[in-house]
A and B are shown apart, each in its own frame.
Chain A
């Protein structure tokens, strides 16, 4: 950058952290990919589970989810799913909603819905798995 009229006014610490002015750096990009990989690995298993439960009665569905491995993988899946959904819809709102108040309200709503969906799912899985 020597010879350029534009100087870098960041402190050496800020440059080393590399988090930029929004203080999150590549966090959004990275976690979107991490959750994507988790979901790509687990989706075939989930589809197989759901197809095997097509037309099943309550007892069969309950028993399938109560199995330890199914309960564990399903818990991981819903956390990755709602996290990935939050990150993705966030960008869509950032791109298309140009009214600031509406944008902030939408982002809040999406965050609350995703956190709520994740916790409700975990509660349901826990209740199914732990209460016979």
Chain B
């Protein structure tokens, strides 16, 4: 492609930070992470189908510090993507479009993500993981 100096439209760096821009890119990032997590779910199911020895190996991977760290990342991503996805669906229905509502729902999603992720891990660890 020929390199020519052309005026560029304003890009990210000229804008003041707003929660909306971070939430938007996080929705994509968590979505991509969860696509990998989907393969992890398939792996889990295949390990159970394959029998006790395979499942024991899989469970050992998950129980390791790295396994727990990755699983925690998937949990947080899933909870965030779920709540922010509901926010997107409400927008699709034409609800909550004015700027104060967009900010309010954004902070609500962040708060819910922290609380629900913590609750899931509290119950999972109490269950003996």
List A residues at the B interface (Cβ < 8 Å): 33, 36-37, 39-40, 43, 47, 50-52, 54-55, 58-59, 61-62, 65, 74, 78, 81-82, 85, 88-89, 92, 110, 113-114, 117-118, 120-121, 123-125, 127-128
B95 at the A/B interface (Cβ < 8 Å)? no
List B residues at the A interface (Cβ < 8 Å): 28, 31-32, 34-35, 38-39, 41-42, 45-46, 48-49, 51-52, 55-56, 59, 78, 82, 85-86, 88-89, 92, 120, 123-125, 127-129
Quick one: given A40-B85, A62-B48, A124-B45, are A117 and B38 in contact (CB under 8 Å)? yes
Q: Determine the main DSSP class of B at the interface with A.
A: helix
Q: How far is the CB of A42 from chain B (nearest CB, A)?
A: 10
Some 11 contacts from A to B, beta carbons below 8 A apart, are: A33-B92, A36-B88, A54-B123, A54-B124, A58-B52, A61-B48, A62-B48, A85-B35, A120-B42, A121-B46, A123-B49
Chain B residues near A43 (CB-CB < 8 A): 78, 82
Q: Which of B34, B51, B85, B89 contacts A58 (CB 8 A)?
A: B51
Interface centre among B35, B39, B85, B128 (most CB of A within 10 A): B35
Chain B residues near A40 (CB-CB < 8 A): 82, 85-86, 89
Quick one: given A36-B89, A92-B32, are A121 and B41 in contact (CB under 8 Å)? yes
Task: Report the Cα distance A58→B94, complex, angstroms.
Answer: 46
Task: Report the Cα distance A118→B41, complex, angstroms.
Answer: 10
Chain B residues near A51 (CB-CB < 8 A): 120, 123-124, 127
Q: How far is the CB of A16 from chain B (nearest CB, A)?
A: 25
